[in-house]
A and B are shown apart, each in its own frame.
Chain A
Amino acid sequence: MTDRRTIDLDHHSQEYADSYHQVADELRGSGCPVAWSEHHGGFWVTPGHADVARVARDDDYFTQDHERREDGGGLGQGVQRPPGPVRTLPIESHSPFTQFIRQLCGPAFSPAGAKQFEPRFLEMVTECLDAVIETGRVDFSEDLAAITTVRATMELIGLPADRLPLYAKVSHESSYLAPGQPGFDEAMAGIGEIQSDVIGLVSERKKNPGEGGLIDRLLVGDVRGRQLSEDEVVGVLMSLILGGGDTTATLTLQTLRWLHHNPEHRARLLTDDAYFATATEEFLRVFTPNVQIFRVATQDTELSGQPVRRGESVMMWWAAANRDPAVFADPYEVRLDRREANRHLSFGNGTHRCLGQHIARMEFRTMVREVLRRMPDYQIDESAVDRYHTVKTIDGLMHLPAVFTPGSREGGRPAAAAAAAAAVA
């Protein structure tokens, strides 16, 4: 342990939330970018794009498995530090099992699947915007993004709509509440509640297969004779329910906030599809909703010359990698036509690259464009913007209130959206 540079970095602290980009830049500038933090069992921190991409991709040296296996390869503690209470799939698994689950999840997650789902998602957005359009006031978080994103995942899975208020609330709160904060214990209990609800639904659907949503596909589908157990199906559904919400919401909210300060970009984003697509990758890069995720080394190796021993954890610092000046010229500048932006790591890299990326882009585009179209003069109330206090995974916004010139409804049933908004609030 002689030649290791240590750093006092705790991703659960408020200090980290306030300064992580600065910390990353300091490390980068120090000539010795890879440092060791003693927090949460200890882990390496590395801000470089090449290192982060390699850790994400090098399944021979790093694992995200959650199980400690008999064969000695099982050092896995999952992707959270400290390790999460349940094993989430497919993230906390290894190939070929990972690929098996990804294949079972199937065409809903392809660009064609996302496109097919778009009209239905637009209805959900319409319903949310209709609920507030006549008032001239909106909280883009609670009234829109925190609800539609979870609702969409629930429909893709085939979960009953009456659960939306609970699921939306828990998904949102468990993303930003840290241990010790008011509401944290309730949010964790809420995850337990959702999990037992999902366990119940899964065993019921195993007996009486339903309409053929993802839940049924996962239960009955097989790939080369292998099927998922009920527990494994629960693991996949939990990660979809909790993983597809605040990530996509964050991208949307941070972008709407940026467009408040940079309104000159609104018009072109509304009308130019190709420009919107390129800009999406730049928003993903600069706002990197998922700031960091962990792996553990399964063999001795090195990162930028720094020895890393078997069994040691490594933080994959997506947000820092996305501002690596070796890959992105003027990384702090938001350039909506940036070409090399597609090398961002916001959706990860390698085997576990985000399965929901096409759905996320579709949801993001639909929400941003509907807001720009129906509330073209919206103004954010910056004094009431509320950031997550800590960045345990996601760097998001709890509240993003805005005012706009009232408009008229365009259909939909505002009642359901209003009920869900009341639960999240």
Chain B
Amino acid sequence: MPHVSVDLDVCEDHAQCVFAAPTVFRMNDDDRLEYDAEYDEDLRFDVQAAADSCPVQAIKLLD
């Protein structure tokens, strides 16, 4: 399965990614980002969209 990584030092919790790929990225109760590093091949398009929409470009697709 492909992998994704978010640089949490850079992430500002904008949650753009959460709506682009909701099954991979989510906000916890404190409005901080949580995500699954491994995701389903089918979701590649959504995860790429999440990476594109991130205002601080904190998301890297790794394979």
B5 part of interface (Cβ distance < 8 Å):
no
Shortest beta-carbon distance, A324 to chain B, in Å?
A: 15
**A110-B56 contact, Cβ under 8 Å, with A115-B31, A350-B49, A353-B20:** no
Flag if A112 contacts B31 (CB, 8 Å).
yes
Which of A105, A109, A115, A351 has a CB less than 8 Å from the CB of B52? A351
Contact with B along A101-126 (1 / 0, CB 8 A): 01101110111100100000000000
Flag if B20 contacts A107 (CB, 8 Å).
no
Contact with A along B1-39 (1 / 0, CB 8 A): 000000000001111100110100001000100000000
> What residue in chain A is nearest B53 (Cβ atoms)?
A353
How many A-B residue contacts, CB cutoff 8 Å? 55
Flag if B49 contacts A358 (CB, 8 Å).
no
**A110-B14 contact, Cβ under 8 Å, with A342-B19, A342-B22, A349-B20:** yes
Contacts of B12 in A (CB 8 A): 103, 106-107, 110
Contacts of A358 in B (CB 8 A): 15
Flag if B13 contacts A350 (CB, 8 Å).
no
Flag if A103 contacts B55 (CB, 8 Å).
yes
Interface SS majority for chain A: helix
Measured in the bound complex, the distance between the Cα atoms of B27 and A53 in whole Å is 24
Contacts of A115 in B (CB 8 A): 31
Contacts of A95 in B (CB 8 A): 52
Measured in the bound complex, the distance between the Cα atoms of B14 and A397 in whole Å is 31
A99 part of interface (Cβ distance < 8 Å):
yes
Which of B19, B20, B31, B52 has a CB less than 8 Å from the CB of A110? B31
A205 part of interface (Cβ distance < 8 Å):
no
Contacts of A53 in B (CB 8 A): 45, 49
Shortest beta-carbon distance, B29 to chain A, in Å?
A: 11
Measured in the bound complex, the distance between the Cα atoms of B16 and A99 in whole Å is 12
Counting chain B CB atoms within 10 Å of each CB, the highest count among A57, A105, A106, A110 belongs to A110
Contacts of B53 in A (CB 8 A): 349-351, 353
Flag if A110 contacts B49 (CB, 8 Å).
no
Flag if A111 contacts B55 (CB, 8 Å).
no
Which of B14, B16, B52 has a CB less than 8 Å from the CB of A57? B52
Contacts of A347 in B (CB 8 A): 19
Flag if A112 contacts B13 (CB, 8 Å).
yes
**A99-B14 contact, Cβ under 8 Å, with A57-B49, A110-B31:** no
Shortest beta-carbon distance, A91 to chain B, in Å?
A: 13
Contacts of A109 in B (CB 8 A): 14
Which of A57, A111, A342 has a CB less than 8 Å from the CB of B15? A111
Contacts of A306 in B (CB 8 A): none
Contacts of B16 in A (CB 8 A): 353, 357
Shortest beta-carbon distance, A248 to chain B, in Å?
A: 16
Shortest beta-carbon distance, B52 to chain A, in Å?
A: 5
Shortest beta-carbon distance, A364 to chain B, in Å?
A: 14
Contacts of A102 in B (CB 8 A): 14, 55
> What residue in chain B is nearest A358 (Cβ atoms)?
B15
> What residue in chain B is nearest A343 (Cβ atoms)?
B46
Measured in the bound complex, the distance between the Cα atoms of B30 and A287 in whole Å is 31
> What residue in chain A is nearest B13 (Cβ atoms)?
A110
Flag if B52 contacts A357 (CB, 8 Å).
no
> What residue in chain A is nearest B14 (Cβ atoms)?
A110
Measured in the bound complex, the distance between the Cα atoms of B20 and A347 in whole Å is 10
Q: List 9 A-B contacts (CB under 8 A).
A: A53-B49, A99-B54, A103-B55, A109-B14, A110-B12, A349-B49, A349-B53, A350-B52, A353-B19
13 additional contacts (CB under 8 A) given A106-B12, A351-B52: A53-B45, A53-B49, A57-B49, A57-B52, A96-B57, A99-B56, A102-B14, A105-B55, A111-B31, A112-B13, A347-B19, A353-B19, A355-B55
